[in-house]
Amino acid sequence: MDLTLTPSTEDYLKAIYEISQEKRVVRIKDLADKLKVKMSSVANAVKQLANKELIVHEHYGYIELTDKGFEVGKSLYERHLVLYKFLTQILQVEPGIASKDACSIEHYLHKETVERIVKLLDFISTAPNSTPQWMIKFKKFLETGVSECRYAKTLDRLEVGTKAKIKSIRLESTIKKRLMDMGVIKGETIKLTKKAPLGDPIEIEVKGYKLSLRKKDAKQIEIEEV
């Protein structure tokens, strides 16, 4: 019996588990409302889950979890909770967004990754003082610390004699090909060797070669100082 579930069927099973914990019975309509889909879509999914023997569903009747279904549904629900807690408690994401994000990503994360998150949550809750110092600092940092969206520095603004690493190149293909043949590639380290009076052209050194560039082209090369 193949118990593999698609993201969509996982959603249905998780929802069945949740409703079964809140209401006396689970109906197609409840699922349609909860998942914001039409009843016919639910009917389809329910058939699949029944084929996998995770639920039992009789015509025009209620939906019930089998033992296996209960177990799987519960673990799906718990995985969701872990992600939700992580997003809200650690990353300080708003509940509404956290809930949506948890829903979308829960299907895709490896078991190992979720394990790490569980451990991080554990680590924080078992810290000597309930909220660890760093988290308090992080919260403050969130309020004040503008995550500097620094200007991307471009090659034309590099100073003569200094080195930098290439971060990205945005040039018309003929020029780009020529440069790439000389070794001007993402990650490569280059040195600005000379600048003409008005900064045009400039001369750079890469892999021992020296080559000359127009300022307008140099402007299209993003760098990162080293």
Residue 115 interacts, among a copy of itself, DNA, none and using kind-specific CB cut-offs from 5 to 8 Å, with a copy of itself
Question: Smallest gap, in angstroms, from Cβ of residue 102 to a copy of itself?
Answer: 10
Query: Structure tokens of 40?
Result: 């016919």
The continuous run of DSSP H or E covering 57 comes out as: strand 55-57
Residue numbers of the site for a copy of itself (CB under 8 A)? 20-25, 62, 64-65, 67, 70, 74, 87, 90-94, 97-98, 100-101, 104-105, 108-110, 112-113, 115-120, 122-123, 126, 132-134, 137-138, 141-142, 145, 147-148, 168-170, 173, 176-177, 180-181, 185-186
Q: Does 59 bind DNA (CB under 7 A)?
A: yes
> What is the chain's Cα-based Rg?
28
- Going by the DSSP 8-state scheme, the letter that residue 89 receives in this structure is I
- Going by the DSSP 8-state scheme, the letter that residue 208 receives in this structure is T
Amino acid in the structure at residue 118: V
Report the residue number, 43 or 136, with the smaller CB distance to a copy of itself. 136
Question: Smallest gap, in angstroms, from Cβ of residue 199 to a copy of itself?
Answer: 23
- The DSSP bridge partners found for residue 131 are none
Instruction: Supply angle C-alpha 183, 184, 189, rounded to 5.
Output: 95
Query: Structure tokens of 145?
Result: 């610390």
Question: Smallest gap, in angstroms, from Cβ of residue 41 to DNA?
Answer: 4
